[in-house]
Amino acid sequence: MSEQSYEAALAKEEASLLQQISAIEKRIEEIDFAQETSAVNFPPNIQAKLHALRKIQLDIVDREVNFHLKAHAMEVEYQAEFKECHQMIARIVNGEDVSDLVEQDATTNDVADQPSGVPNFWLTVLKASFLDGVVQEQDEPALQQLRDIRCVLLNDPEPGFELLFEFASNDYFTNEVLTKQYFLSCAPNVEAPSKFNGFEIYRCVGCKIDWKPEHDLTKDPGMNSFFSFFEPENIAEVGTNCGVMMMECDFEYGYYIKETLIPRAVFLFLGENPELGDSKAMCTCNRCLYIDCLDHITTYPEPPAEEEIEDGEQEEDEPEKQVLSASSE
Amino acid sequence: MSEQSYEAALAKEEASLLQQISAIEKRIEEIDFAQETSAVNFPPNIQAKLHALRKIQLDIVDREVNFHLKAHAMEVEYQAEFKECHQMIARIVNGEDVSDLVEQDATTNDVADQPSGVPNFWLTVLKASFLDGVVQEQDEPALQQLRDIRCVLLNDPEPGFELLFEFASNDYFTNEVLTKQYFLSCAPNVEAPSKFNGFEIYRCVGCKIDWKPEHDLTKDPGMNSFFSFFEPENIAEVGTNCGVMMMECDFEYGYYIKETLIPRAVFLFLGENPELGDSKAMCTCNRCLYIDCLDHITTYPEPPAEEEIEDGEQEEDEPEKQVLSASSE
């Protein structure tokens, strides 16, 4: 066999192999597709159309991703609109000069009578909210020093938001601001694109609290603390199932603070619309085990049994009670 | 008394009266405010600050209204992005020339074998959806003629959306397109501004179906029909409580068609992610009495007792069954 014909034979064999591989790939794709749609059996002459329809469906999902990204970018731009309101609230709450904001009334508002600002504003807001059960008695002196809770929407390097808790100087830690960042993903799961539903929190990062000596409120493993919220890394240490649930709850808290606690803080403080503090309306995870799990953070022997997790009825009705009972055990 | 001094006295009295009225108005405002915030008792020297805080809170709500309106306008603009996808789906489903969309495969897709389009696509989608229970057996021959279900977002003269159901010629009615319009309001309730939560459907308008003689599927008061969906005016005739609930359910259906049924039609058809058809994930009213009530549209003697309405647990778990059982009574 000449070198040329040998090369030609090789090239032909290669082409044939490539063709076979392509056929196998196509067959795998067909099997995958048939499995995906196993619930319904379609005659083969409809399959090509369904293939095409499914491609368009996936294209719709991709376009929705773009829409959500654009909407988030718009929200990021729009936050300046709300910033000045939140700054005014902070000025009043912290007793800064607010003569331009507060109408003075000589009889009831004698300047000498005025306390500085609105004492315990943010602690009261927290306790009127869905996070009530997370605030422990021993956390309160530190939380009385809360000057502001803010949210900053981020788009760069990735979509997300940062919660900032600003504190006056206190006996517990030296940080002026405690932060928690939440990162959002907006992409369909390739294995289950039909479940795509816009942005989802997928990761959060806390901050290191510089505790003053003998004042670490999160140190005692037998005691829960609101400040564990800034240590989400600890959740990763908990057994997988329980860790995932706690993460879901943590994400619910973060989302609630961004969407309700901050923009409705005054209504929460005033006790208007108790539903704002109602976890029933907010928590879609139905498994508020966050504090329950934190309680056992070092001792949890096994993830809880499946029926315990799924039995969400009562938890949904009385989550605060459940959370509180965890701390009184 | 000279005329001048008389007029001066009158003017003075008027000024004094106006001042008194203003003081009374201010006092009423204070009483209103105190009542609104009766859950918490604040010392009087804090009241002025709370007044100012509440004004800022209402300003935040107003700015949210503007944000939602802007976001809706963006969505209206963005719908062109999705339109071409939905038009391609319609072409494939209705067997129009789709050689550019459907990959031809000589072995399984012999042209002679091809049925025209994908038979019963939209009927299958409806039955795989949250609206399953609304589709009655006698509706199916008409619904087999569904060529398309579309949604057009509107911003002018007011925000809303229109659902369009396009039919091939059929034995039942002469309309080519049946429509249902939903109108959205985006304004806080002045009596309960803390409950503001963005857009809400507040009104819907159906269309007149031009039934062919002897083919009106909605005529028999003892039989439910999917086509009653286009006659929301009838709901207004039902006793107030029941009517309000039915309206809420109707709004849920409209919102579901816009948000899930249309953008996830192919996934619903293919049976991917059964949750897409799950009312548990969609219906927040927990009181799917729509069909139940329609059943008694002329005979309902009294609105149902409160406990029947509030007992939503089982309904939430098995709403389809409940809706179906209503039609088999």
Question: pLDDT digits over A7-55, tens only?
Answer: 777 787 887 778 777 777 666 665 666 555 544 577 777 888 999 999 9
Do B15 and B135 lie in one domain? The reply is no
3-state secondary structure B49-87: HHHHHHHHHHHHHHHHHHHHHHHHHHHHHHHHHHHHHHH
* pLDDT-based confidence at residue A194 (cuts at 50, 70, 90): very high
Q: How far is CA A199 from the centre of its chain?
A: 10
A103 to chain B, any CB pair closer than 8 A? The answer is yes
pLDDT tens digits, one per residue of B251-262: 989 999 999 999
| Chain-chain contact of A263 with B37 (C-beta, under 8 angstroms) | no
Pull the structure tokens for residue B283. Answer: 């219906």
CA separation for the pair A153, A139 (Å, rounded): 27
Using the 3D structure, point to which of B248, B270, B292 is the last residue of a domain.
B270
What residues in A contact B109, CB-CB < 8 Å? 44-45, 47-48
- From B26, which residue of chain A is nearest by alpha-carbon distance? A105
3-state helix, strand and coil shares in percent for chain B, rounded to the nearest 5: 55, 10, 35
* Contact call for residues B138 and B128 (beta carbons, < 8 A): no
A59 to chain B, any CB pair closer than 8 A? The answer is yes
Question: A212 CA to chain B: closest CA distance, Å?
Answer: 33
Q: How far is CA B83 from the centre of its chain?
A: 21
| Chain-chain contact of A67 with B75 (C-beta, under 8 angstroms) | yes
CA separation for the pair A210, A169 (Å, rounded): 12
pLDDT score of A124 more than 90: yes
Do A141 and A212 lie in one domain? The reply is yes
A265 to chain B, any CB pair closer than 8 A? The answer is yes
Asked casually if ipTM beats, i.e. exceeds, 0.85, the reply is: no
The shortest CB-CB distance from A109 to any of B45, B101, B274 is to B45
Where is pLDDT greater, at A289 or B63?
A: B63
Do B13 and B81 lie in one domain? The reply is no
CA separation for the pair B184, B182 (Å, rounded): 7
Where is pLDDT greater, at B160 or A156?
A: B160
pLDDT score of B64 more than 60: yes
The shortest CB-CB distance from A92 to any of B49, B101, B110 is to B49
Pull the structure tokens for residue B130. Answer: 């949250």
| Chain-chain contact of B93 with A264 (C-beta, under 8 angstroms) | no
* Contact call for residues A142 and A135 (beta carbons, < 8 A): no
* pLDDT-based confidence at residue A105 (cuts at 50, 70, 90): low
pLDDT score of B110 more than 60: no
C-alpha distances in angstroms, B259 versus A312, B161, B277?
27, 11, 12
* Contact call for residues B45 and A115 (beta carbons, < 8 A): yes
Do B22 and B149 lie in one domain? The reply is no
Question: A163 CA to chain B: closest CA distance, Å?
Answer: 18
Angle at A250 between CA A245 and CA A253, to 5 degrees: 130
* Contact call for residues B187 and B65 (beta carbons, < 8 A): yes
Do B31 and B72 lie in one domain? The reply is no
pLDDT at A220: 85
A290 to chain B, any CB pair closer than 8 A? The answer is no
B19 to chain A, any CB pair closer than 8 A? The answer is no
The shortest CB-CB distance from B271 to any of A37, A59, A275 is to A37
pLDDT at A256: 93
Asked if the structure places residue A51 within a domain, the reply is: no
Do A24 and A141 lie in one domain? The reply is no
| Chain-chain contact of B70 with A74 (C-beta, under 8 angstroms) | yes
Question: B118 CA to chain A: closest CA distance, Å?
Answer: 7
pLDDT score of B303 more than 80: no
pLDDT at A55: 94
Region A118-144: what's the mean pLDDT?
94
What residues in B contact A89, CB-CB < 8 Å? 53, 56-57
Asked if the structure places residue B253 within a domain, the reply is: yes
Percentage of chain B modeled with pLDDT above 70 = 72
* Contact call for residues A59 and B62 (beta carbons, < 8 A): no
The shortest CB-CB distance from A63 to any of B47, B81, B270 is to B81
Edge-to-edge strand list for the sheet holding A177-185: A146-154, A160-167, A177-185, A200-205
- From A112, which residue of chain B is nearest by alpha-carbon distance? B45
* pLDDT-based confidence at residue A173 (cuts at 50, 70, 90): very high
CA atoms within 13 A on the CB side of A49: 28
CA atoms within 13 A on the CB side of B200: 12
| Chain-chain contact of A103 with B51 (C-beta, under 8 angstroms) | yes
Do A134 and A21 lie in one domain? The reply is no
Say what the pTM is: 0.74
pLDDT score of A196 more than 80: yes
Asked if the structure places residue B258 within a domain, the reply is: yes
pLDDT at B160: 95
Where is pLDDT greater, at B27 or A141?
A: A141
| Chain-chain contact of B49 with A98 (C-beta, under 8 angstroms) | yes
> Which of A32, A37, A49, A109 is the best residue to mutate to test the B interface, defined by the most B CB atoms within 10 Å of its own CB?
A49
pLDDT score of A66 more than 90: yes
Asked if the structure places residue A241 within a domain, the reply is: yes
Do B131 and B266 lie in one domain? The reply is yes
| Chain-chain contact of B270 with A54 (C-beta, under 8 angstroms) | yes
pLDDT at A294: 45
Asked if the structure places residue B208 within a domain, the reply is: yes
pLDDT tens digits, one per residue of B71-103: 999 999 999 999 999 999 999 999 887 677 676
Asked if the structure places residue B303 within a domain, the reply is: no
* Contacts of A231 by beta carbon, 8 Å cutoff, 6+ apart: A206, A209, A218
Q: Among A42-46, B126-130, B230-234, which is the least confidently predicted range?
A: A42-46
Do A250 and A179 lie in one domain? The reply is yes
> Which of B60, B79, B111, B129 is the best residue to mutate to test the A interface, defined by the most A CB atoms within 10 Å of its own CB?
B60
pLDDT at A109: 46
Question: B231 CA to chain A: closest CA distance, Å?
Answer: 31
pLDDT at A40: 55
CA separation for the pair A133, A149 (Å, rounded): 18
Asked if the structure places residue A7 within a domain, the reply is: yes
Question: B160 CA to chain A: closest CA distance, Å?
Answer: 19
Using the 3D structure, point to which of B245, B270, B295 is the last residue of a domain.
B270
Do B147 and B8 lie in one domain? The reply is no
The shortest CB-CB distance from A53 to any of B89, B114, B263 is to B89
Do B92 and B182 lie in one domain? The reply is yes
> Which of A64, A267, A273, A275 is the best residue to mutate to test the B interface, defined by the most B CB atoms within 10 Å of its own CB?
A267
Q: Among A113-122, A139-148, B203-212, B232-241, which is the least confidently predicted range?
A: B232-241
| Chain-chain contact of B113 with A37 (C-beta, under 8 angstroms) | no
CA separation for the pair B22, B320 (Å, rounded): 58
pLDDT score of B315 more than 50: no
pLDDT averaged over chain B? 79
Region A216-220: what's the mean pLDDT?
91
Region A185-193: what's the mean pLDDT?
92
Asked if the structure places residue A106 within a domain, the reply is: no
B231: domain range? 65-97+117-270
Region B293-319: what's the mean pLDDT?
40
pLDDT score of A300 more than 80: no
A30 to chain B, any CB pair closer than 8 A? The answer is no
Q: Among A24-28, A174-178, A298-302, which is the least confidently predicted range?
A: A298-302
Question: A293 CA to chain B: closest CA distance, Å?
Answer: 27
A44 to chain B, any CB pair closer than 8 A? The answer is yes
Question: B50 CA to chain A: closest CA distance, Å?
Answer: 8
pLDDT at B35: 56
Question: B251 CA to chain A: closest CA distance, Å?
Answer: 19
pLDDT score of B3 more than 80: no
* Contact call for residues B101 and B91 (beta carbons, < 8 A): yes
pLDDT at A62: 96
Percentage of chain B modeled with pLDDT above 90 = 49
What residues in B contact A37, CB-CB < 8 Å? 270-272
Using the 3D structure, point to which of A238, A270, A302 is the last residue of a domain.
A270
Task: Please tell me whether the peptide bond between B159 and the residue prior to it is cis, using omega within 30 degrees of 0.
Answer: no
A91 to chain B, any CB pair closer than 8 A? The answer is no
pLDDT at B37: 53
Q: Among A13-17, A63-67, A85-89, B165-169, which is the least confidently predicted range?
A: A13-17
C-alpha distances in angstroms, A79 versus A75, B66, B197, B199?
6, 12, 17, 19
pLDDT averaged over chain A? 79
pLDDT at B318: 35
Amino acid at B159: P
Interface of B with A in 202-231 (CB under 8 A): none
Do B32 and B146 lie in one domain? The reply is no
- The CATH number linked to B232 is 3.30.1120.90
The shortest CB-CB distance from A54 to any of B56, B98, B266 is to B266
* pLDDT-based confidence at residue A313 (cuts at 50, 70, 90): very low
Number of structural domains (chain B) is: 2
- From A51, which residue of chain B is nearest by alpha-carbon distance? B102
- From A44, which residue of chain B is nearest by alpha-carbon distance? B108
Amino acid at A161: F
pLDDT at A323: 30
A184-201 exposure pattern, b = at least 16 Cβ within 10 A, e = fewer: bebebeeeebbebeebeb
- Going by C-alpha positions, the residue among A85, A274, A282 that lies closest to residue B36 is A274
